[in-house]
Amino acid sequence: MFYRFLYDHVLIHTDPEQAHRVGMGLIGWFGRTPLARLAAATCGYRGGRSFPGIFARPLPGRVGMAAGQDKNASAILGSLALGFAFTEIGTVTPLPQPGNDTPRLWRLPEQRGLRNRMGFNNEGADVVAERLRELRSTKAGRAAFVGVNIGKNKWVSAENAAADYEICARKLARYADYLVINVSSPNTPGLRDLQNVESLHEIVRATRAGANETAGRHVPLLVKIAPDLADEDVLAVAQMIVSEGVDGVVATNTTIAHNYGEGGLSGSPLAPRALEVVRLLRHALGAEKVIIGVGGISSVEDAIAMIAAGADLLEILTAFVYEGPFLPGKLNRALASTGV
């Protein structure tokens, strides 16, 4: 209640990107203090139930942080202490890039949504790899369950895109519990064209080659898709996942099906289509492939509906902004207590 009051009366009047930057800085600082252990044992407590068999290591809950929040792996331990079972950092590109011009992030409070046209702003694979190396050098960092979301630099052509994914995988896979090929952001020109199955075959093979070169183990590989794909294209991606032996899919990214201006929309308006896409994928993929459901999850009921649609794991971002730091622990505890 305190956070909602603070958000509705104070934070709503701040610049959204600046608020995000300050918030992630505070979460990063928090994760380096003794307060993180206290939070993890109280408000961040996930319910004492683990979920084996989804990835190589058991997860302490079903709900994680979606990519886009912690772009540069600077707040992993703080995020997990707040109750996230895992976190997906990125999107990371081979070279640093500033992203699109500002303004590029807008709140839509009446929709409980966010619109962004960030453009993969990040510090680059070398910086993120070093940060992850430092993380994995500690006991707490080795215990952290971390996915790494990768993409291509803005200036790289579609014909050369696979090489960018291979570079990122080579540099980052050794530190990742899973990798996500992001071909679905609407904010990098031409990126969504890479969702066609011909391009995906090449990108998947290149990413796997890069990961195998340095990881020394099997690193699960997932593809993140847009909600704006037609049903037949979703099914074509599912067929590619099966034929290439991809481990799973993240569904979905932001949508461009809105009238608010440039960029992708996230939050509550995305929920109906995200559920449809997850149902399609589960029917097409069967029980063996991992599906991470993303889009419009802001309550226990939303989370249960996404799992019922076929998701193994869930990710949130926009709801975390609107509902505050106690939401991930609340969701994970509720799902554990209901046995979902």
Catalytic residue list? 185
Residue 293 pairs with which residues in a beta bridge? 251, 314
Tell me how far apart the alpha carbons of residues 331 and 47 are, in angstroms, rounded to a whole number: 10
Tell me how far apart the alpha carbons of residues 300 and 59 are, in angstroms, rounded to a whole number: 18
Only one residue has tokens 């076929």, namely 310
Only one residue has tokens 């291509």, namely 152
SS3 293: strand
Tell me how far apart the alpha carbons of residues 225 and 238 are, in angstroms, rounded to a whole number: 10
Tell me how far apart the alpha carbons of residues 305 and 299 are, in angstroms, rounded to a whole number: 10
Q: Any idea what DSSP says for residue 96?
A: -
Q: What is the H or E stretch that residue 305 is in? A: helix 300-309
Residue 116 pairs with which residues in a beta bridge? 105, 264
Q: Minimal CA–CA distance to 184: which of 309, 113, 270? A: 270
Dump the DSSP string for 1-30.
Answer: -HHHHHHHHTGGGS-HHHHHHHHHHHHHHH
